[in-house]
Structure 1
């Protein structure tokens, strides 16, 4: 009976360690996703800004050049 309790105690300790490791990994992944989303928004803003500038330049071209 004592060995069964020891085995159960070890399994429980392993489960606790695994849970802690997965929580830490989950936090890291959430941070990476947040950073990626932020970078994607910045990139999209730059693309939108470039498109607006291009449209402005195109609108300034003479009609026969378009």
Structure 2
């Protein structure tokens, strides 16, 4: 009788282990899906950042250099310039 009880206990533990294994397998699959999604999102954000950097660089290229900025008159006077006038 004791031997049968031990076998039942072992069988129950094996069943619990199998259930736990199935749960962990499903969790692992979901985590891999999340990794894939986050990797795609990261790549998309890197691409957008690169494009934004390129646009900023293009805008910086269009700005006048320091040497030629003296010849450009500002469209608006500063508060100090207005007070002096």
- TM-score tier after normalising by the smaller chain length: over 0.9
Structure 1 gap segments, 5+ residues each: none
Among 30, 33, 55, the alignment partner of 2:35 is 33
Runs of 4+ off more than 3 Å:
none
Instruction: Give the equivalent residue in structure 2 for 1:46.
Output: 48
Residue 24 of structure 1 is matched in structure 2 by 26
The Cα shift of 1:63 comes to 1.1
Quote the Cα distance in structure 1 between the aligned partners of 2:65 and 2:7.
Answer: 87
Root-mean-square deviation (Å): 0.8
Structure 2 residue 75 is the aligned partner of structure 1 residue 55? no
- Structure with larger RCO (C-alpha < 8 A, sep 6+): 1
Looking at CA atoms only, which structure, 1 or 2, has the larger radius of gyration? Answer: 2
Select the structure that is richer in helix: 1
Q: In 1, distance between residues paired with 2:30 and 2:51?
A: 32
Q: Which runs of 5+ in 2 are unaligned?
A: 70-85
